[in-house]
């Protein structure tokens, strides 16, 4: 049943709801945006003031009711081995320095209890997620050290395969997870690090779910049934989330939520390929895209389409298995109505208008992912008691090189 309250009343109710309940976004690429703009020293810009070239700054965080954030420490999949590890460490360092620079607003969170405590103190609980298995260079030792530095989820791949797992946007090589890939999943869950299945192939999703002993997440993915993009989650996988306890955190990337936006991106890719150029090279897309778009207007995604994906995940997996993973600052386009981190209340208002209860919205906003964190922490304690300290070594991670693929949105 659709609520009969006015849009203004729904927006007011949404703002009040987000002042009382946790809002934890699963994915924000602000650290990479700052690095790419040459501001990794954090001397400028001042995030305490409005920033023109980002989706994220502290005033807009406050306006949006954002109370917890997984900051992505993304590095490109074109980096591999020691170079990928070094760049990831630099990104982790950037996040730690960003938190220290704004101690009155941000605070590092390592556990679900930390998130609760920091939220109660009126600050933004800041968590760290590593986007792509290339960041560990096929080393369980590096994985453990990233956990020690505060990383609380690892996305198993980015856009390119790693030697031990297939990505959604690369040609299959491993057929899912290799034996070492399954060991990575087991070690992550022994540590209490969330296994993030955004970016991976359906075969990798299935293999991870088969061997997982704790809930998994999709930190920023949407529903493939509504937009047939390889980065989205098939219904068969969404239907397995209740059995695993996992959460799909729906993203705002236009080509992942709008079939029209995806079709436009596909046409641009074909145009670039037709010119004999690499379609996922950001520089190439930046040069070709504007001129091509002048004769091919770029469609716009909408907030309502994001809400449609949230409702689809809820229908397939249940209200306990849906969340929000915006990918702000990781995409060059955003939906109308969701221009930056100040806009979360507009999305909650849309859902209230569709008949979602306050309890439903509270679970979506942060309750579900916080429950997953608690369950992952409890599973880690049980696994460690059963298995004892890890004695795993690198093992056979495979000899295939990482296939380079510059990063498209998401």
Told to judge if 39 belongs to the known catalytic residues of this protein, a careful annotator would answer no
Check: CB of residue 92 under 8 Å from CB of residue 73.
Answer: yes
Strand, helix or coil at 125? strand
CB-count exposure of residue 384 (10 Å: 0-12, 13-18, 19+):
middle
CB-count exposure of residue 391 (10 Å: 0-12, 13-18, 19+):
exposed
Told to judge if 199 belongs to the known catalytic residues of this protein, a careful annotator would answer yes
Of these residues, 55, 134, 199, 321, which one is catalytic?
A: 199
Pull the structure tokens for residue 141: 């030792």
Cβ-Cβ contacts under 8 Å for 320 (sequence gap 6 or more): 242, 363, 368, 371
Pull the structure tokens for residue 97: 């320095």
User: For residue 330, which of 321, 320, 317, 341 has the smallest C-alpha distance?
Assistant: 341
Of these residues, 265, 327, 329, 360, which one is catalytic?
A: 327
Locate all alpha helices (DSSP H) within 112-240, ordered by sequence.
112-120, 140-148, 179-191, 202-211, 235-238
Told to judge if 96 belongs to the known catalytic residues of this protein, a careful annotator would answer no
Packing angle of the helix pair 179-191, 368-387 (nearest 10 deg): 100
User: For residue 104, which of 45, 46, 58 has the smallest C-alpha distance?
Assistant: 58
Of these residues, 25, 29, 281, 329, which one is catalytic?
A: 29
Torsion of CA 173, 281, 83, 174, to 10 degrees: -10
> Cα 177 to the chain's mean position, in Å?
20
Told to judge if 158 belongs to the known catalytic residues of this protein, a careful annotator would answer yes
Q: How far apart are CA 384 and CA 6, in angstroms?
A: 52
Of these residues, 55, 57, 134, 158, which one is catalytic?
A: 158
User: For residue 279, which of 296, 291, 267 has the smallest C-alpha distance?
Assistant: 267
Of these residues, 25, 57, 107, 131, which one is catalytic?
A: 131
Told to judge if 55 belongs to the known catalytic residues of this protein, a careful annotator would answer no
User: For residue 299, which of 347, 251, 255 has the smallest C-alpha distance?
Assistant: 255
Q: How far apart are CA 179 and CA 198, in angstroms?
A: 20
Told to judge if 327 belongs to the known catalytic residues of this protein, a careful annotator would answer yes
Told to judge if 27 belongs to the known catalytic residues of this protein, a careful annotator would answer yes
The set of catalytic residues is 27, 29, 131, 158, 199, 220, 327
């Amino acid at each position: 049943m659709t609520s009969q309250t006015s849009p203004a009343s729904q927006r007011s109710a949404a703002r009040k709801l987000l002042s009382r309940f946790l809002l934890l976004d699963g994915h924000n690429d602000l650290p990479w945006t700052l690095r790419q703009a040459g501001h990794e020293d954090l001397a400028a810009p001042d995030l305490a003031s409005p920033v023109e070239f980002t989706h994220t700054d502290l005033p807009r965080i406050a306006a949006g009711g954002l109370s917890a954030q997984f900051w992505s420490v993304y590095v490109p999949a074109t980096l591999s081995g020691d170079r990928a590890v070094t760049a990831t460490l630099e990104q982790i360092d950037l996040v730690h320095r960003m938190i220290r620079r704004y101690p009155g607003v941000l605070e590092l969170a390592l556990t679900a209890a930390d998130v609760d405590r920091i939220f109660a103190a009126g600050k933004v609980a800041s968590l760290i997620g590593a986007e792509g298995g290339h960041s560990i260079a096929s080393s369980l030792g590096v994985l453990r050290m990233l956990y020690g530095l505060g990383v609380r989820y690892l996305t198993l791949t980015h856009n390119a395969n790693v030697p031990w797992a297939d990505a959604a946007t690369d040609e299959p090589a491993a057929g899912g997870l290799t034996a070492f890939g399954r060991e990575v999943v087991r070690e992550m869950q022994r540590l209490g690090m969330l296994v993030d299945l955004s970016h991976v192939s359906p075969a990798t999703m299935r293999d991870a779910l088969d061997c997982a002993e704790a809930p998994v997440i999709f930190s920023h993915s949407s529903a493939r049934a509504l937009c047939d993009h390889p980065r989205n989650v098939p219904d068969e996988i969404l239907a397995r989330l209740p059995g695993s306890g996992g959460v799909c955190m729906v993203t705002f990337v236009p080509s992942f939520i709008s079939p029209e936006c995806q079709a436009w991106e596909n046409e641009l890719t074909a145009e670039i390929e037709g010119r004999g150029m690499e379609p996922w090279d950001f520089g190439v897309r930046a040069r070709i895209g504007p001129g091509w778009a002048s004769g091919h207007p770029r469609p716009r995604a909408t907030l309502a389409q994001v809400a449609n994906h949230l409702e689809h995940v809820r229908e397939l997996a249940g209200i306990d298995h849906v969340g929000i993973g915006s990918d702000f600052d990781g995409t060059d386009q955003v939906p109308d109505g969701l221009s930056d981190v100040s806009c979360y209340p507009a999305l909650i208002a849309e859902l209230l208008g569709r008949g979602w209860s306050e309890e439903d919205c509270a679970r979506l906003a942060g309750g579900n992912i916080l429950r997953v964190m608690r369950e992952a922490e409890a599973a880690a304690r049980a696994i460690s008691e059963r298995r004892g300290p890890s004695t795993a070594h690198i093992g056979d991670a495979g000899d295939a090189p990482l296939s380079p693929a510059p990063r498209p949105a998401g």
